[in-house]
């Protein structure tokens, strides 16, 4: 098993260079930044759980993070039953993205599946970025992405929303536009 190297990217974009990185503001001076940091740490813990499941070929923990009504996909919702079928069915696009298989043909420079990226890359980073989303308020929608040097990640980042103290996937498993 490839050890997970974790790093949190707390803003969607950054313009500061590594050499001239500003000092980290205190939580009292930047409550939004402090809230994002706390959320990023929670999402990274979820990422470790999902990494183990994906490496082991187990769709169960991914499906356990899909809300009962399913996942948003643009203006529609993909029912949880379909997500379950797509995660389990070897020939589906969704199964191929996460676990490998004939349903997903990786573009050049992309790992053949997330499982392959996590298992085969010498160093993998889990990054949390916050995407603007009106439903998430000023903090934004936390999205988890696994990355490795010289390999692009297949699929789309895993975005989450919190309900009743638990982090649930939103619309991020399918490429919805």
Q: Please write the tens of the pLDDT for every residue from 67-105.
A: 999 999 888 999 999 999 999 999 999 999 999 999 999
Q: Specify if 28 maps to a domain.
A: no
Sign of CA dihedral 37, 40, 42, 48: negative
Domain extent at residue 84: 46-169
Q: Please indicate, yes or no, if residue 151 is contained in any of the structural domains.
A: yes
> For residues 23 and 98, what is the distance between their CA atoms, to the nearest angstrom?
38
Strands (E), the chain: 4-6, 71-73, 76-78, 124-131, 141-148, 158-163, 166-169
Band (pLDDT 50/70/90 cuts) for residue 20 is: very low
Mean pLDDT, all residues of the chain: 84
Give the SS3 label for residue 144: strand
Query: Domain count of the chain?
Result: 1
Is residue 138 one of the residues assigned to a domain?
yes
User: What is the value of pTM for the model shown?
Assistant: 0.81
């Amino acid at each position: 098993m490839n050890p997970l190297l974790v790093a949190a990217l707390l803003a969607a974009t950054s313009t500061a260079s590594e050499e001239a990185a500003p000092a980290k503001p205190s939580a009292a001076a930047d409550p939004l930044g402090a809230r994002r940091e706390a959320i990023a740490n929670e999402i990274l813990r979820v990422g470790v759980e999902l990494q183990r499941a994906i490496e082991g070929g187990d769709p169960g923990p991914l499906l356990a993070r899909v809300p009962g009504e399913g996942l948003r996909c643009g203006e529609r919702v993909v029912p949880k039953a379909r997500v379950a079928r797509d995660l389990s069915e070897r020939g589906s696009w969704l199964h191929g993205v996460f676990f490998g298989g004939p349903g997903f043909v990786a573009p050049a420079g992309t790992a053949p599946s997330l499982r392959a990226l996590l298992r085969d890359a010498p160093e993998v980073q889990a990054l949390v970025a916050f995407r603007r989303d009106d439903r998430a308020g000023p903090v934004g929608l936390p999205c988890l992405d696994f990355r490795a040097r010289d390999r692009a990640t297949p699929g789309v980042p895993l975005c989450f929303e919190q309900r009743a103290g638990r982090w649930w996937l939103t619309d991020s498993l399918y490429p919805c536009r």
